[in-house]
Amino acid sequence: MRLFTLLPLVLLILPTSPAFDHEFPVPPLTHKSLFYIHRSVNSNTVLYEVNLLGDKTIDPKNPVSVYWLRYAEKGQKRDLNMLERNFAYGIKCIPAGPGKYTMHFVASKTRQAEVLLDQNGQATAIMDISGKASRLKKIFVQVSEDGWWPKVDYVEFFGEDVRTKKATYEKMKV
């Protein structure tokens, strides 16, 4: 659960601007896009995508890239800094079979996802959401800034059931 205990430190260090009634831009998604994270503090978005080799397989040396789209500034792309990589938004990928990786979130010991390409070549992160194997689409982190130290109140997971294609949702209080 380190994501949710150390995330306030990261949010404190990062420049922030007011959120716009929780209406955030959806990042441009491609066949390499896995999912993204929105936070209540501003419109900056963290995007997760697979790295592909020339033969359109996942790069075993660096399966997933994670970076910012800084919408609260000029919309530019920016790499995660060391604190963000190691305590908040970073991941570790472990091979789980041919073309498949288990992605561990550095900030949470309880959440992981299986990363693979589906039959159409679309990057996919499969995660348990409310007890259902789901394609993870988005994560939302609600932060309250009451007082001097920001606090993560809850995290929401949005996905699609891999079997039924129905929307899945889970809210995790922190």
Walking along the chain (174 residues) 10 residues at a time, the average pLDDT comes out as: 46 37 82 96 95 97 97 92 92 97 92 97 98 98 82 93 98 91
For residue 163, being part of any structural domain is answered with yes
Helix (H, G, I), strand (E, B) or coil at 13: helix
Domain region containing 108: 2-15+31-173
| Run of H or E including 5 | helix 2-13
Whether 105 is covered by a domain: the verdict is yes
Q: What is the pLDDT of residue 93?
A: 98
pTM for this structure?
A: 0.85
Contacts (Cβ under 8 Å, ≥6 apart) of 170: 129, 130, 156, 157
- Whether 24 is in a domain gets the answer no
Tell me, yes or no, whether 82 lies in a domain: yes
Domain count, the chain: 1
Q: Which amino acid is at 40?
A: S
Residue 54 DSSP symbol? T
Cα 47 from Cα 65, distance rounded (Å): 8
Which residue type, as a one-letter code, is found at position 23? E
Q: Is position 109 within any domain? A: yes
pLDDT at 22: 58
pLDDT at residue 75, as a whole number? 86
